[in-house]
Amino acid sequence: MQRNRIFGAVLGEAIGDAIGHPIEDKWAGTEDKQVDGLLDDNKFTDDTQMFCAIGEAMLASPPHESEEKFMVTLSEKFEEWRKNPLGGSHRAPGGNCMESVRKLGAGISWRKAGGLDYKGNGTAMRSGIVGCMYWQNPEFAFRIGCLTSVPTHNNLEPILAAGTVAYLVAAQIKGFTFNEAVANVLILCADYNNPYRVPLYPREVKIGSEYHDQNPTYAVALFGAAYALGQTPTVDIKEAVHALQDPSSVVRDGAAVPAVAEAIFFNSLYGEGRRARGSGQFDERFSDTVITAANNSDDTDTIAAISGCIMGARLGASNIPSEWTAKIELSDYLHNLAERIWGASSASFDEPLKPKDAVNMANPEIVGVLLAQQDFLDEDLTDEDNRAFGVDAPIVAGVGDDNEDYEVEF
């Protein structure tokens, strides 16, 4: 069952991305912003490209073995994506992502490359694959999902959004109900000051409600509201989506928190007690979820990708139309990636995180807090451990041309 759900999450993300791609340049509510399935133009976007980069980084350097090494490897995979994107071309990557990855390629540490005021949805679109790897321990998936935001968007709002998607995917694969998963992840987000759960975010950025502040309360409130709205039988979809969007952004769901809120809403709309148009053994909630998400959002590829990843983890690949799973761009590669993630996930750990495994042990201000909660002494940390915690991203030759095409993330 878990294998089927991992395949569902991986393929569901790419299919949702590709379904939304052809209409992402149209505003929600316009008459021609309509799609009813996967078109002959079956190409996914940078959402899936970066999603796969995280998967390859986890397979090469599993975070549960060394978070620091994983983050360095992830930086390298992101730089590979910038130079040689999966599928052979860039598909409208966000300006903030590209700028941060350029810095990684120039040798700037992953801790310092991400913009402190970058709040784009580029983090949430790619983090679901972390949940595929760590479905046995959804809280650890949340932690690593949060970390994957830092190299490009080092702000608490996108950090929590990325962790939330990773957790929801992991919890669905493990077998939690969607209701349980949302409740649990709201608690995790609210506990953002716990370094076990959210290992890094910029302490120098104010917690508050102004545009340049970090606002974790905003994330928790919007995610909870999205779930509640989706549970309302008489909800007007367009009004609900508008309520969840960010009025300060040009692309109103181009920010991470509104994007994840919308994905939660669309998944809640087709909840445990609401089967879609399917009959017999085939459940059509995946199809209805991604098509509804694409037709009622502004950043359609990203919203449909996140929605499809979560719903794919809920229903499994067996409930995604087989013509879509066969037709999606690079289908063989995506199936192979899902198989490798499944193999690695079945052997991954399911035990409490220990401080000496944690990337933030490199931060002297947090060491004391962590050690106070554990029963081992300082001498348990070897010189080799300490050196590992201090590793910075290596310098990678070649920063690239300045005239690459990309869109600005808001």
Q: Is residue 408 part of a domain?
A: no
Q: How many domains does the chain have?
A: 1
Q: Which residues pair with 158 in a beta bridge?
A: none
The reported pTM is 0.86
User: Per the structure block, which two tokens stand in for 345?
Assistant: 């996930």
Q: Is residue 402 part of a domain?
A: no
For residues 3 and 7, what is the distance between their CA atoms, to the nearest angstrom? 6
**Residue 126: half-sphere exposure toward Cβ, Cα within 13 Å:** 36
User: Per the structure block, which two tokens stand in for 329?
Assistant: 């761009």
What separation, in Å, do the N-terminal and C-terminal C-alpha atoms of the chain show?
38
- pLDDT number for residue 353: 60
CATH of the domain at 24: 1.10.4080.10
Q: Which residues contact 360 (CB under 8 A, 6 or more apart)?
A: 195, 199, 200, 366, 370
Q: Is residue 316 part of a domain?
A: yes
Please work out, in degrees rounded to the nearest 5, the angle formed at the alpha carbon of residue 176 by the alpha carbons of 175 and 181: 140
- pLDDT number for residue 229: 96
Q: 120 by DSSP, 3-state: which?
A: strand
Q: Is residue 274 part of a domain?
A: yes
- pLDDT number for residue 254: 85
Convert the pLDDT of each residue in 5-60 to its tens digit: 999 999 999 999 999 988 877 777 677 778 888 888 899 999 999 999 999 999 99
DSSP 87: T
Q: Which residues of the chain have pLDDT under 70?
A: 29, 272-282, 348-358, 360-410
- pLDDT number for residue 393: 34
**Residue positions counted in the chain:** 410
Q: Which residues pair with 214 in a beta bridge?
A: 207
Q: 205 by DSSP, 3-state: which?
A: coil
- pLDDT number for residue 348: 64
Q: Which residues pair with 115 in a beta bridge?
A: 153
- pLDDT number for residue 39: 83
Q: Is residue 171 part of a domain?
A: yes
Q: Is residue 221 part of a domain?
A: yes
Q: Are 47 and 301 in contact (CB under 8 A)?
A: yes
For residues 98 and 54, what is the distance between their CA atoms, to the nearest angstrom? 16
Q: Which residues contact 83 (CB under 8 A, 6 or more apart)?
A: 105, 398, 400
* Closest by Cα among 256, 274, 348 to 311: 274
Give CA separation, 108 vs 78, 113, 146, 359, in Å.
13, 6, 20, 17
For residues 248 and 386, what is the distance between their CA atoms, to the nearest angstrom? 43
Q: Is residue 394 part of a domain?
A: no
- pLDDT number for residue 365: 57
For residues 176 and 211, what is the distance between their CA atoms, to the nearest angstrom? 35
Domain around 70 = 2-389
Convert the pLDDT of each residue in 358-384 to its tens digit: 676 545 455 455 445 444 333 343 444
Greatest Cα pair distance, the chain, in angstroms, is 66
Q: Are 125 and 52 in contact (CB under 8 A)?
A: no
